[in-house]
Structure 1
Amino acid sequence: MSEMSVEDLVALWNKGFEGYYLNSSLDMSKFMARTVHEGLSLEHSLVLYENEEAIGFVMNGFRTIEGKKVAWNGGTGIIPDYRGKGFGKHLMLRNLQLYQEQDVDIALLEALVQNEAAINLYQKVGYEITEQLVCLQHTGELHVNLLESKFPEKYSLRQGHPVEVNAVPFNKPMSAWQTQWPSMKGGESILVTVAEEVVGYALFKRVYAENGSLTSFVLYQCEACPGREDETEILKTALREVFAPLTSSCTRLTMNIRHSNEGLNELLAGLGFTSFVEQVHMLRHI
């Protein structure tokens, strides 16, 4: 990809996602912002050609997590006229070869649950589904009483930078790429403590309009220490801080929350959050 002009890259991206389940089209500024924010490498992202025509691509990002080199598929697309003809498999196999060349240990990606063809392709080249992911949304005020804690004096809160969750023993370093702390450009963290012990955390962002007004909250991770009987109270404490002020009528979103985080999903459902995207998280050892 580094050998193409930005204009051609954006055009290829938009053609590759034409007719997709979600509108994934980007303009030049959004394409470049996504590339930077997600840590994507144009030098190590591939473009597939048929004769002189660019017909497909795969974008890649790389991180070191717990001593392992991890690669993320940040977008794969084939332009419509070439779909269903084996080009996607050819591209994915070459991409796995690139991962081997780059000494990658683990490869991650997400795929929409509706995109069965893509999921089947990824499984054929060795990826396995490790988690169901859900994106939720809520517009309007939140009912304050639903997040009231039974023991508010028990918990303390510490706000900080996203990197601080890296030191939490039960953090989820292999969560979906965009929910990991290195993707939290402009994000925040909340640590919930009991007697100085961290018992819960959240990663989130506040989004502001050009005039400085708060437009939305985006929650990326919210976890309680496994096995604690007060899990619900810990999660309530974190959510009260993440979504404050609760009386604000702005949009509140969650991005790629683990479906297996049952306590959190039950709380959010009770608050009136509804699903707008569901994905699978997939992993392959290289």
Structure 2
Amino acid sequence: MFFKRMSEMSAEDMVALWNKGFEGYYLNSSLDMSKFMARTVHEGLSLEHSLVLFENEEPIGFVMNGFRTIEGKKVAWNGGTGIVPEYRGKGFGKHLMLRNLQLYQEQGVDTAMLEALVQNEAAIKLYQKVGYEITEHLVCLQHTGELNVNLLESNFPERYILRRGHPVEINAVPFNRPMSAWQTQWPSMKGGESVFVTVAEEMVGYALFKRVYAENGSLASFVLYQCEARPGREDETEILKAALREVYAPLTSSCTRLTMNIRYSNKGLNELLAGLGFTSFVDQVHMLHHI
């Protein structure tokens, strides 16, 4: 048993190992070459600092890693871990994770994060054994068709001022959540947008989202990544409604509307989305390890 860097493999072998490692997974996570490379770039994954586990010269497992500096601390993200089916349940995953934590130490990482499907109990237990802790539950929601405009009507339409901006601007919001799930952070918002809600020049809410377009240029879907109201506001629901009206407009469009890894503890947002008819299609846990 030995390790290599993923960058030492050919692109074709990387993609083949990814697909083999996720074979039989709860979700269809298979990727073709273009999607694999796009994901690597968009999520800031480092092939040089991603590991491949070999047994008898055969690649049998991998972990892909991304790195960011957040509030002065180096943060690592496990952007995908897979073991080839015939080698699962034999302790190879633990060897892989322990070596990966060693790599994090070598790279001066302060905090490591990952997400795991709630159904993947074996993986969650493995991560806990090597020091990760569950810090949040996350949900991905979907809605197809028109939204009920009446449910997002404001009781105080003149109070809330909305402004569009760039995702990086949330750094200036005092209540932003920099350690949210990796793919919901502003550096992952290539082509994304932000919405800011103010009352009497006070910042009271924000959202991060993307519009996805079909090849013919038509709007295919909206994806919401973060939507927060300033903590302690009695008008939290009104703030969130104002942000959602802007994010998902035009509300009468019949395209798909999604959320990506919204935290369960954001109860006000989840209640609003449930009332609008959004339903869950992925549930995950967010896990952290302080190195």
* Correspondences of 1:241-280 after superposition (within 5 Å): 241-280=246-285
Q: Which residue of structure 1 lines up, in the alignment, with residue 229 of structure 2?
A: 224
Give, in whole Å, the separation in 1 of the partners of 2:241 and 2:145: 18
Q: Which residue of structure 2 lines up, in the alignment, with residue 97 of structure 1?
A: 102
Cα deviation, 1:113-152, whole Å, max 9, x if unaligned, reads: 0000000000000000000000000000000000001001
Structure 1 stretches of 4+ with a deviation exceeding 2 A read none
Residue 258 (structure 1) shift: 0.3
Does the alignment pair 1:115 with 2:120? Answer: yes
Does the alignment pair 1:203 with 2:178? Answer: no
Give, in whole Å, the separation in 1 of the partners of 2:200 and 2:15: 51
Give, in whole Å, the separation in 2 of the partners of 1:277 and 1:210: 26
TM-score normalized by the length of structure 1: 1.00
TM-score normalized by the length of structure 2: 0.98
Q: Which residue of structure 1 lines up, in the alignment, with residue 3 of structure 2?
A: none
Give, in whole Å, the separation in 2 of the partners of 1:79 and 1:251: 34
Residue 261 (structure 1) shift: 0.2
Of 61, 74, 77, the residue aligned with 2:79 is 74
Q: Which residue of structure 2 lines up, in the alignment, with residue 34 of structure 1?
A: 39
Of 142, 160, 167, the residue aligned with 1:162 is 167
* Correspondences of 1:146-185 after superposition (within 5 Å): 146-185=151-190
Q: Which residue of structure 2 lines up, in the alignment, with residue 132 of structure 1?
A: 137
Cα deviation, 1:218-257, whole Å, max 9, x if unaligned, reads: 0000000000000000000000000000000000000000
For structure 2, which runs of at least 5 residues remain unmatched after alignment? Answer: 1-5
SS in 2 for 1:152: coil
Counterpart of 1:186, as a letter, is G
Number of residue-to-residue matches in the alignment: 286
RMSD over aligned Cα, in angstroms?
0.3
Does the alignment pair 1:6 with 2:11? Answer: yes
Give, in whole Å, the separation in 2 of the partners of 1:168 and 1:36: 27
SS in 1 for 2:146: coil
